[in-house]
Amino acid sequence: MPKLATGANSHAWHGTAPLRVPRGFTLVELLVVVIIAGVLTGAVLLVMGQTGPAQTGKRELARLAASLEVMCDRALLAGSPRGLRFHARGYDFWMYRDGAWQLIPDDSRPRAVRWPNGLRPRVEIENLGLRPARNQRLPQVVCTGIEPATPFSIEIGSGDHRLQMNWPE
């Protein structure tokens, strides 16, 4: 239908009845949009919201690797060795000060970590064998900042979902 420069339809000038122009969306169009949005939202939630044992294990190993990096950096900056001790419930960090190993308080970084429920670690430390030991009172992994940290491997997970990390990588 031809339009005038003002935007009005030319039929208004000729006295003919205007054609009916549909306004808005039909119900079918709205339903299609809602279904597409729902499918996309579901896909995003599936990808981002995975919280199974495999995802939890990956997250814990990434946290451990980052904490070890911080520990070795602090050992280099402070000029004194730092250590990591694995135990059945998690792991904690130590520093060598005044001729003895001391547990780093929880209010400093990196801080002690407890394993999430269901994750069971199996740690093998070079020259120490299988850990964690029940009454281990000293760190098993030591980092001076100058020399490489004590090599170890950790396997974590539950059931069939087990992941492994070797340090240093």
Q: How much is the CA Rg of the chain, to the nearest whole Å?
A: 31
Range of the domain at 58: 53-167
- In 3D, which of 135, 73, 139 has the Cα closest to residue 109? 73
Query: Does residue 3 sit within a domain?
Result: no
pTM, two decimal places? 0.63
- In 3D, which of 117, 102, 103, 108 has the Cα closest to residue 53? 117
| 14 pLDDT more than 80 | no
Query: Does residue 47 sit within a domain?
Result: no
Which CA distances in Å does 107 have to 74, 103, 138?
15, 11, 20
Query: Does residue 116 sit within a domain?
Result: yes
Confidence band (pLDDT; 50, 70, 90) for 24?
confident
Distance of CA 18 to the CA centre of its chain: 61
CATH number of domain containing 134 = 3.55.40.10
Query: Does residue 31 sit within a domain?
Result: no
What is the predicted pLDDT for the residue at 132?
Answer: 47
